[in-house]
Amino acid sequence: MIHPQPAVEISKQFADQAGLNPVIAQILYNRGFTDPQSARAFLRGEMAFPDPAKMTGISRAVPRIMRAVSNKEAIYVYGDFDADGVTSTTLLVSALRALGANVQPYIPHRVDEGYGLNDDALIKLAKQGARLVITVDCGIRSLAEAETAKRIGLDMIITDHHSVGPDLPDAFAVINPKQPNCKYPEKMLAGVGVTYKLVEQLLKTSLNKRGLAAEDFLDLVAIGTVADLVPLQSHENRALVIRGLEKLKQTNRLGLQALMEVASITPAQVSAYAIGFMIAPRINAAGRLDSAMTAYELLTTTDRFVASEYAQKLQTLNVTRQQLTREMQELARIQAGMETTANTPLIFASNPDFKQGIVGLVAGRLTEEYYRPSIVVQQGPEESHGSCRSIEEFNITEALDQVADLLIRHGGHAQAAGFTIHNENLPLFRERMMEIAGDELTGKDLRPRLEIDAEVPLHKLDMRLYDALSSMEPCGHGYPAPILCARKLRVADCRTVGKDNAHLKLKLTDGALEQDAIAFRFGEYIRDLPMTVDVAYQLEINEWQGERRLQMNVVDIRPYDYEARRN
């Protein structure tokens, strides 16, 4: 466990000025919010969104789209097959149709076409009469495909948020806040966030005769933003999600209502957690195992019966996805040799039996389990498709850039990326990636770190603190739920619970007070659990038979070090 340098006196003054609970003030101060007013505004999601016109490419894209709408040109919105891409596609198609556009969605099939733009799809769209193609959540590295679009007479507007390569595609307009010289201040928007800025600017035009409000689409923005794991310590991302969650709680989209019903989510339970672990996985399941168009149809249907059918289909696909992920993770672990050597700088597994839609999940699980960058590849007859997940110490997309000569296409972020490769290049690709990872990671302490936000003993745990901690929501990537620490607790009672006795149910005491605790996946600790421990935990409510009680959700345990405390 890592405990931050205490700033008690500063935090007390900070708490008074910001009007915050002292523990919340301590946490925010430790996370870098040293100005009371800005900390309070961040917590509440208060901000004036920057002018979308500041985003390079939007001022060129909007007049072209307006012309296409006015002339009834055939427009296609070309999206990605994950939750960010599907919500982006839904948002832009819905907005354009409301403006009177002749517009259709196009989301490629993960297995048949692979990630991103592809020439065959563009040629097909051109033959169907397309004049303008607008990408969402993809295209920033599709240089060859942009050339194809020009050659066959398609105007292309690229909107994306992924890492920019050495060169930009030669498209009619490129909208990505990460591109050089873009003056838009927030660089870490999700794909749906970038799409939202384009729609926001479009709705300012004379085409918006119905007075549509961009805010009506914020439920979609919240889902895509949380699902794509963009940092929520960003003021704009946080503000978008806060406002989007309010829209989601009262959404008029029949598909979302049906999806929340099959996931057993009530409006009061709508949260970033619910999106990340219940809503988004079901939306993603469509593109992983079937067609992402199923999820798109769910989000756009105006028929309650159809919405229910699609929601149930996504529920079934998600259950199948969970089972396949477990099976593939075990196979990948064995194939990568992790049972015999865990010191490899990079985990690599490839197999024709891997499901292409699951490889990213398996790579993520392996990285979480071993704290190493992971590459999992589904081998096709001639081409293979891989997903990468990485750790803070290793930028996986920069590593792929170094072996771009071996790849058909690639792209992503620092800790998550994907690629397509000819099978004959796989052995050399593996060798070179191992070398790159070895060079960058050798000598580094590759152990996951647990950041402790504040030390809070048992006597400070009450409902007021729980409510104050809840005010820090929405939490997620880059802005995790607070982790607290309590020291020198005696284990008054301990027993295993759950399937295969995988979890620990504890009673912890400081000598004066006793507190219930649960430690998931710590069941094996019962054999030699020390009697006196330090614990890292999150504070939660345990509801049982109508009774609500505070509970420590233990995320780490270590023996109390008497010698260290004495010194």
Among the ranges given (148-162, 201-215, 287-301, 513-527), the one the predictor scored with the smallest mean pLDDT = 201-215
What mean pLDDT is predicted for residues 171-192?
A: 97
Quick check: 378 pLDDT over 70?
Answer: yes
pLDDT band at 567 (very low <50, low <70, confident <90, very high): very low
Residues 71 and 190 both lie in one domain = yes
295 occurs within a structural domain? no
pLDDT band at 232 (very low <50, low <70, confident <90, very high): very high
Of 201, 217, 233, the residue that ends a domain is 217
Q: What is the DSSP letter of 206?
A: T
Tokens of 521: 């996946």
> What residues pair up with 174 in beta bridges, in sequence order?
158
Of 408, 441, 474, the residue that ends a domain is 441
What are residue 408's phi and psi, to 5 degrees? -80, -45
What mean pLDDT value characterizes the chain? 93
Residues 79 and 190 both lie in one domain = yes
Residues 428 and 461 both lie in one domain = no
Residues 147 and 199 both lie in one domain = yes
Per DSSP (E only), the strands in 160-242 are 173-175
Residues 436 and 529 both lie in one domain = no
Q: Domain containing 385 — which CATH number?
A: 3.10.310.30
Residues 421 and 464 both lie in one domain = no
Residues 436 and 537 both lie in one domain = no
Q: Domain containing 486 — which CATH number?
A: 2.40.50.460
Provide the pLDDT for residue 411.
87
272 occurs within a structural domain? no
Quick check: 565 pLDDT over 70?
Answer: no
Residues 97 and 192 both lie in one domain = yes
Q: What is the pLDDT of residues 382-427, one digit of tens each?
A: 999 999 999 999 999 999 999 999 999 898 889 999 999 999 999 9
Q: What is the pLDDT of residues 52-85, one digit of tens each?
A: 999 999 999 999 999 999 999 999 999 999 999 9
Q: What is the pLDDT of residues 341-351, one digit of tens each?
A: 667 899 999 99
Provide the pLDDT for residue 2.
46
Residues 414 and 506 both lie in one domain = no
At residue 146, the 3 state secondary structure works out as: helix
Provide the pLDDT for residue 107.
96
514 occurs within a structural domain? yes
- As a whole number of angstroms, the distance between CA 238 and CA 233 comes to 7
- DSSP class per residue in 225-257: HHHTT--TTSHHHHHHHHHHHHHHHT---HHHH
Tokens of 184: 């838009």
Q: What is the DSSP letter of 559?
A: E
Residues 402 and 496 both lie in one domain = no
Check residues 7 and 378 and name the one with the higher pLDDT: 378
Decide: 23 and 466 in contact? Cβ < 8 Å. Answer: no
At residue 534, the 3 state secondary structure works out as: strand
Provide the pLDDT for residue 547.
83
Residues 69 and 156 both lie in one domain = yes
Contacts of 238 (CB under 8 A, 6+ apart): 42, 45, 232, 474, 479
309 occurs within a structural domain? no
Tokens of 29: 């101060």
Q: What is the pLDDT of residues 259-279, one digit of tens each?
A: 999 999 999 899 999 999 999
Of 217, 237, 256, the residue that ends a domain is 217
- What Å distances lie between residue 65 and 203, 230, 386, CA to CA? 12, 28, 35
- As a whole number of angstroms, the distance between CA 545 and CA 225 comes to 35
366 occurs within a structural domain? yes
Domain count, the chain: 3
293-300 and 280-289 helices cross at what angle (nearest 10)?
A: 140
- As a whole number of angstroms, the distance between CA 419 and CA 427 comes to 15
Quick check: 31 pLDDT over 60?
Answer: yes
What mean pLDDT is predicted for residues 92-101?
A: 96
310 occurs within a structural domain? no
Pick left, alpha or beta for residue 462 (phi over 0 → left; psi -120 to 50 → alpha; otherwise beta). beta
Q: Domain containing 175 — which CATH number?
A: 3.90.1640.30
Quick check: 563 pLDDT over 60?
Answer: no
108 occurs within a structural domain? yes
Tokens of 241: 């999600």
Domain that holds residue 416: 336-441
Residues 78 and 213 both lie in one domain = yes
Query: Of 117, 76, 90, whose CA–CA distance to 296 is shortest?
Result: 90
546 occurs within a structural domain? yes
Residues 198, 200, 204, 209, CA torsion sign? positive
Check residues 305 and 5 and name the one with the higher pLDDT: 305
Contacts of 566 (CB under 8 A, 6+ apart): none
- As a whole number of angstroms, the distance between CA 240 and CA 226 comes to 10
pLDDT band at 338 (very low <50, low <70, confident <90, very high): confident
Q: What is the DSSP letter of 451?
A: B
